[in-house]
Structure 1
Amino acid sequence: VSDSENELDSVITNAVIIDYTGIYKADIGIKNGKIFGIGKAGNKDTQDGVCDKLIVGTNTEVIAGEGLIVTAGGIDTHIHYISPTQIPTALYSGVTTMIGGGTGPAAGTSATTCTPGSWHMREMIRATQHYAMNFGFFGKGNSSNENALSKQIESGALGL
């Protein structure tokens, strides 16, 4: 198959998948950075049982999934962003999304899960961009000043 428009960008082959539907072995097709389909991937011209949308072609990167388990990542919604060393620990335990607040090893970070002010918000977002983790930051919402709250949201706060 050489129809690059219909072929996958990447495929994870023979992965053990654990999700809400059960435990099974399959291929995972990826297109435009997102899971496009799960099933049997391959070349329909030479293989039987290939799913219509899981076409592997010359432009497809094949990633061996043998011996690996693929499962949805966990979401931790109560993070005090104290140190970057929290990130590997979270990933090793299956957490792929961290939501909370803070500015590093400061007393305010230990006491609360919010990131104060626009500058801190922008810096925390910038500081986490290179990590293989999804992040969400809460702004400091204890204000009657609507402008101050709006600025935090505009700076990237997930919520207040």
Structure 2
Amino acid sequence: SIACAQMGDPNASIPTPQPVYTRPMFAAFGGSVQNSAVSFVSAAAQDAGIGAALGLAKTTVPVEHTRTISKADMVHNDYCPDIEVNPETYEVRADGELLTCEPAIELPMAQRYFMF
């Protein structure tokens, strides 16, 4: 379901007018809203019928196996180095290796407005 999309002027005669705004689409209205999303609840709440008790139109789904998830379970971000920070020199080391970075010359995202 498409709930929102980048759209230009609805009165324009070409498909790429400026400025472009995020506007609600067909799935953001009516019965589409509750049919295109779920509410995650605890297993105890699911067993107690929380959806009916609260009159929820969305489907409720119990969360599972969340207490055993750790950093090691992350597919692309499982590295856990030993971080040391020297409080006097502010040197930062990861697994004994000194981490350095040169000052940024240009900060393109630090402007007031970012277009495109």
Q: TM-score, normalised by structure 2?
A: 0.22
Higher Cα radius of gyration? 2
Q: TM-score, normalised by structure 1?
A: 0.18
